[in-house]
Amino acid sequence: MSLTDTAIRNAKPREKQYKLYDDRGLYLLVQKSGKYFRFDYRFYGLRKTLALGVYPDVTLAEARQKRDDARKLLKKDVDPSRHQKEAKMMKRELIKNNFETITREWFNKQKHAWSDGHASRVIRRLELNVFPMIGKRPIKLITAPELLEVLKKMEKRGVFYSAHTVKQICGQIFRYAIATGRGERDPSADLKGALTPTKSTNMATITDPKRIGGLLRAINGYDGQIVTQCALKLAPLVFVRPGELRKAEWLEVDLDNAVWKIPVEKMKMKSPHIVPLSRQAIDVFKILKPITGNGRYVFPSLRSPSQAMSNNTVNAALRRMGYSKDEMTGHGFRAMASTLLHEQGWPSDVIERQLAHSERNNVKAAYNHAEHLPERRKMMQSWADYLDALKSGAQVIPLRRAAGK
């Protein structure tokens, strides 16, 4: 007699376990701990039992379907128990090797070579845009159309540049999965030309000497917070990255020896950096010393002195002074210095070292933070004097340095 839902529901546990049979090997095992569907079968003469689930999580109809599926496997000479174990193992393996798991592993390996800001932007873009859609998908099974759907959703929000950036990041993750034996191919490679093209633009800056003079005079007349004005004054003199400037700490600044030593953890390229300070830069620090010198940061946040200045403060000040984002940015002081110092004939190695650009040899980079330091000191003072002349309105035609001088 076949089982019924009523019979299963009314089955009560006894002192010893017992079975209620359905047909074709299916039965319900009733124990004090619960009710379990089982399927008994023979495979190459051996009696075996396959667990089909626990009632009521698995209904009678579902148990019968699982039994029928098992019988079909037997007809194909496949052991249902072995098949079930392999399926569970594969499922666990796929979960362990899903996109988010591998991404976080990749990220933890890469982030030590990045600045904190860059690392934060990378993982945030993935958490917001990618993980919700394909994060739980086994990385081996993700297709180009699936990845494209993620990127198209970003494009619908108008973040075209970010969509291209996320595509590149995903490509690195897929290639890492391949290298570690958990991926088979990089589907991002199939998306060439599938995204809306973005126009490549240079970082907004000013390189015309007359306009630089006007900018410096505008900074000198800035009527906002004195700390913000000092940040604006220092930016062209040291031309470090905006994040490095706003996070400057007094412990890093040695005014007696005219040097600012930025530690490795603050640098984008993860190499310590030395900034020789011109007389003009020291003067700015001396203005700030009685104002912020008792705290940690040279440029503390106006809202919370225990935190560094906001990353938008300098750009907001430039806007207030009338410079649009297409004319000048906080990052633009680096491009300004690079362009004009090259035009003035300073050695490229000296300029690039002072800009703290990437060093291809990472071991070499760890020791090169002081490279060309005497020449860099001369260059930084010459640059500060040049800016002073521009600010005064003088018609400055810089003398080009001869090679090796």
Q: Catalytic residues, which ones?
A: 241, 268, 331, 334, 357, 367
Contact status, residue 255 vs residue 285, Cβ threshold 8 Å:
yes
From the list 329, 374, 324, the residue with the least C-alpha distance to 347 is 374
Matching residue, tokens 């000479």: 77
Contact status, residue 99 vs residue 130, Cβ threshold 8 Å:
yes
Tell me the helix, strand and coil percentages in the chain, rounded to 5: 55, 10, 35
The pairing of strands 46-55 and 259-262 is: unpaired
Matching residue, tokens 């991404």: 103
Axis crossing angle, helix 99-110 with helix 160-179, rounded to the nearest 10: 90
Q: Compute the distance between CA of residue 223 and CA of residue 379 in angstroms, rounded to an integer.
A: 30
Q: Compute the distance between CA of residue 392 and CA of residue 341 in angstroms, rounded to an integer.
A: 19
Q: Compute the distance between CA of residue 65 and CA of residue 52 in angstroms, rounded to an integer.
A: 10
From the list 362, 359, 363, the residue with the least C-alpha distance to 372 is 359
Residues contacting 308, CB < 8 A, separation 6+: 246, 247, 297, 299, 300, 301
* DSSP strands (E only) in 272-388: 273-276
From the list 264, 243, 245, 265, the residue with the least C-alpha distance to 253 is 245
From the list 48, 115, 128, 119, the residue with the least C-alpha distance to 80 is 48
From the list 164, 171, 166, the residue with the least C-alpha distance to 196 is 164
Can you spell out the DSSP letters for 354-379?
A: HTT---SSHHHHHHGGGTTHHHHHHH
- Bridge partners of 26, per DSSP, are 39
From the list 107, 120, 191, the residue with the least C-alpha distance to 150 is 191
Q: Compute the distance between CA of residue 134 and CA of residue 127 in angstroms, rounded to an integer.
A: 11
